[in-house]
Amino acid sequence: MDQNTHLPPTLFLQYQRMKPNGLPILMSTDTECETGFDTSLIVGYNDKCPFICTICKGFPRYPNELSKCGHVFCSDCISQVRSTIDENGHRIPKKCPNCRSVFKTNDIIPFEMTSSALINIYSSYEIRCTYLCGHVSSPKSIIDHETWKCKLRPVKCTSKGCEIVLTDEQMETHLVNCPKRFVYCNQCRLPMIVNNKDHKCVSANRESVNCMF
């Protein structure tokens, strides 16, 4: 059995966004974070910034406004505010953490539905990259940068069974050397784990055909 140990074929099958070197553009493992940016990342930050979420004390990545009072919070933070039950069994409605005014779920408005003036003010802020790569941009652009572009963002290996997480910069070397990466067998042209001595072309072809039915 011979094998081609070039770039893992599964990378090309699973990812459409590719780098010029043929490796996939991987999403940051930190994308589930929906709370605010640390205020130390805001260029020229001062205490008068109107967008600071009083729940997480950060600058909202995904801001929402309460329509009744106009206070702004992170989408994830304000969604965690719940109504409560008092000692007599009566339901206490949800209240704004800032002014204590009562609100309902449909009173939470995404910024895309607020005034363009408010959106423009929010977008005018400049945020430093969380991974301290030196990049500075608007809130929306910095999220895209941290998710897909920053070389210092954490990304997970794409090889099945490999749980390693490295910076995107370090991952480029790991992907082409990962002991669990897939390669093409030069005889049957089917994918296999690199250096898999148990690979049998006949069995692999049979399994490939069975998967089609």
Helix (H) or strand (E) holding 166: strand 165-167
CA distance 121 to 203: 62
- The pLDDT of residue 155 is 95
Provide the token pair at 64.
């929402």
Longest dimension (CA), the chain: 76
Instruction: State the residue for tokens 């304000």.
Output: 78
- Residue 147 is classified by DSSP as I
> Which residues lie across from 192 on neighbouring strands?
183
> One digit per residue, pLDDT tens: the chain, 213 residues?
344 444 444 444 445 578 888 788 999 998 766 789 999 999 999 888 999 999 999 999 999 999 999 999 999 999 999 887 777 777 889 999 999 999 999 999 998 888 888 899 999 999 999 999 999 999 999 999 999 999 999 999 988 888 999 999 999 999 888 888 766 666 675 665 666 666 567 565 566 545 555
pLDDT at 107: 94
CA-nearest of 144, 102, 118 to 64 is: 118
Q: Give the domains, in start order, of the chain with CATH numbers.
A: 3-29+153-210 (no CATH), 39-129 (3.30.40.10)
The CA distance from 33 to 169, in Å, is 21
Q: How many CB atoms lie under 10 A from the CB of residue 161?
A: 9
